[in-house]
Structure 1
Amino acid sequence: NVDEYKILFSAKEFKKTRVEYFVENEFSLEEKIPA
């Protein structure tokens, strides 16, 4: 079913981009806070 594939694909993409966004924010936070 094409619709099921689209939903699965978009869910994968969403998870991937969310993880990348989270990682970027983690790095920027570490830069701002002195160790």
Structure 2
Amino acid sequence: MARIFVTGSADGLGRATALTLLGEGHEVVVHVRA
């Protein structure tokens, strides 16, 4: 599987995308601006 970088992962579409990709078995790196 792929390693995927997702920005804006705190909530909304970014979070949903990251969780979906994790569920598909990808390695997901998330970025959250605090």
- TM-score range for the pair, normalised by the shorter chain length: 0.3 to 0.5
Rg: which structure is higher? 1
Q: Normalization by structure 1: what TM-score?
A: 0.40
Q: Normalization by structure 2: what TM-score?
A: 0.41
Q: Which has the higher contact order (CA 8 A, sep 6+)?
A: 2
